[in-house]
Amino acid sequence: MLARLAIAETIAYNCVSMAVDWFPLWLSLRVAACATVPAVLAGVGLGYVLVVRRFRGREVLDDAVTLPLLLPPSVLAYYLLVLLARDSALGRLYERIAGVPLLFTWQAAVLAALLYSVPLMTRSAQSAFAGIEPACLKSARTLGAREWRVFARLALPLAARPLAAASILVFARCLGEFGITLMIAGNLPGQTQTLPLAVYEAVGKGQGQTALLLALAVSALALLCLVAAGRVSRVRFGLLK
């Protein structure tokens, strides 16, 4: 007990006395927030389409959405480097619109986070929509409701809880993105260095105290998200019993 108290005291002392650069934490939060919004929108849309619509190429789309989860980060990052290089069509297009190249900016870190979060959100959304009683959606369609109304008035509210929980977990996953970010956004302190990259650098430089503090920050955030997702999935919304 005394030993544990001593460790906690040391950590607290170090937090106060050490000059830790907390920029990676704020950047990670910004990247995660910016990636979660489009990931949730795309994942919910794709998940709904894959569950309720039958069309040619549905299986191909399903597999394509899942593929990034199976590919190594280095392979995905390589594809992105090729696709978004300054001399590529996409790279030139982005540079013409934004005025700056995409690679090795914090926006590239957002893209890196999206690569894993979209499939993750799509999978979760598929499970959430598949859990809705099909009879509700079927009868709604025969009552003259257009598909967007079935989606907005029925599917979305009925799947709200699992979707909200999945969004929080996707946010947490974005916070922890490492491999692709390193390769396409770089590890530039004060510019593209996210929290996991800062831990990696601190360990590499032998800054044990800094690495410990940053690792604890990442862990605390992940734990917070996990608890929040659990609470959200159990909470009774006003519109759901």
Partner 1 sequence: MIAARLRKRLAATVSSPPFLLEAELEIAPGVTGLYGPAGAGKTLLLELLAGLEKPDEGRILVDDDLVFDAAAKVDRPARVRGCAYLPAANSLFPHMTLRENLAFGAAGLPRLEKHRRVEQTLERFDLGRLAGRRPTDISQWDRLRCSLARMLLSAPRAVLMDAPAAGLSGSERRAFESLLREVRREYSAAYVLTTRDLRDCSGMCDQVAVISEGRILQTGPPLSVMQSPANLAVARLLGMHNLLEAEIVSLDPQRNSSRLRLGELELAGPYFRGKLRGDRVWLCIAPHELRLVPRSGRPGPNKAPAEIRRVTEAADVAHIELEGDLHVEMPRRDYEERKHNREWWVEFPSHTLRVM
Neighbouring residues of 107: CB distance < 8 A, sequence distance ≥ 6: 98
Q: How many other C-beta atoms are found inside a 10 Å radius of the C-beta of residue 47?
A: 25
| Orientation of helix 160-175 relative to helix 106-130, angle to 10° | 150
* Between 140 and 203, CB nearer to partner 1: 140
* Between 160 and 222, CB nearer to partner 1: 160
Does position 134 bind partner 1 by CB under 8 A? yes
* Between 86 and 138, CB nearer to partner 1: 138
Does position 139 bind partner 1 by CB under 8 A? yes
Neighbouring residues of 97: CB distance < 8 A, sequence distance ≥ 6: none
Alpha carbons 215 and 24: distance in angstroms, whole number: 12
| Least distance (Å) between residue 124 CB and partner 1 | 20
Alpha carbons 55 and 233: distance in angstroms, whole number: 31
Does position 241 bind partner 1 by CB under 8 A? yes
Judged by CB under 8 A, the residue of 138, 205, 219, 227 near partner 1 is 138
Q: How many other C-beta atoms are found inside a 10 Å radius of the C-beta of residue 232?
A: 19
Q: What would the x/- binding string for partner 1 be over residues 42 to 81, using CB under 8 A?
A: ----------------------------------------
Does position 96 bind partner 1 by CB under 8 A? no
Binding residues for partner 1, per CB under 8 A? 133-136, 138-146, 149, 153-154, 157-158, 239-241
